[in-house]
Amino acid sequence: MRATTMMLIAAAGLSGACSHAPEILITGTGAPLKPASTYRVVAAEGATLGLPMEVSDRLTTQLAAIGHSPATQGKADLLLVPSLDRRPAKLGMFVRGNLGEAGETMHWIEAPRTDAKIATSFALRFVDPFTGRELRSTRATAFHRRRDAAKVLPQLIDGAVMELNAPSPSPYSEKMLP
């Protein structure tokens, strides 16, 4: 059973009074990962493997904090497919349903926005190496101004990792970070 958890966070820099504070949306699907899993980082087909060093280091540290470690030798329990992208928020993201059929519909992941913010997304997909089935997926997206780009990246990594072990509540429930 797949469930989606959505969190909307107003991550204001000072007392929350800033109207230009980044908005962070965190979603997750799938069941929580089993404790003490080992993982191997791989790239999606057609993509290059290479997160910035500060992102890779923080991701490894955060995953270790919740009990997951990189596979050093032998087989890994999970394959980890991380991705980091930036785009203008005026461009939405969608998936197409019923590919190739005349009445196909678009399912919006993120609808286009009218403000001049940038969307930075950090996603983690954990895949079973034996079946190729996606077990858990999380995505943290921040809508922010250009000068806030360096500040939101650690929040995105922390939010995506925190969502990995979140229980699977009813779809579309909203939570706030403490």
Q: Looking at the whole model, is its pTM more than 0.85? A: no
In a domain, 174, yes or no: no
Pairing mode, strands 5-10 and 173-175: parallel
How many domains would you assign to the chain? 1
Residue 92 domain flag: yes
Give me the CATH number covering residue 86: 3.30.160
C-alpha of 17 from chain center = 27
Residue 121 lies in a domain: yes
String of b and e for 139-151 (b: at least 16 CB within 10 Å)? bbbbbbeeebeee
Domain-located, residue 88:
yes
pLDDT in tens, the chain (178 residues): 333 333 333 333 333 445 577 788 888 888 888 888 899 988 876 666 778 888 889 999 999 999 998 888 878 899 999 988 887 766 666 555 555 555 555 555 666 666 667 888 899 999 999 998 989 999 988 888 777 778 888 999 999 998 887 766 434 434 433 3
Contact (Cβ atoms closer than 8 angstroms) between residue 40 and residue 79? yes
Residue 177 lies in a domain: no
CA distance 89 to 146: 12
24 and 9 in contact (C-beta within 8 Å)?
Answer: yes
Tens of pLDDT, residue by residue over 55-64, are 889 999 999 9
Q: Is residue 161 part of a domain?
A: yes
Q: Is residue 45 part of a domain?
A: yes
Q: Is residue 107 part of a domain?
A: no
Which residues are CB-neighbours of 77 under 8 A, at least 6 positions away? 34, 37, 38, 39, 71, 129
Instruction: Centre a 10 Å sphere on the Cβ of residue 41 and count the other Cβ atoms it contains.
Output: 16
* Domain interval for residue 68: 5-12+21-98+113-168
Model confidence pLDDT, tens digit, residues 119-129 = 888 999 999 99
**What pLDDT does residue 172 have?**
40
Q: Which residue has the tokens 């890994």?
A: 76
pLDDT value at residue 175: 40
Per the CB < 8 A criterion, the answer to whether 26 and 137 are in contact is no
The Cα 20–Cα 68 span in angstroms is 35
Q: Phi first, then psi: give them for residue 174, nearest 5 degrees.
A: -110, 140
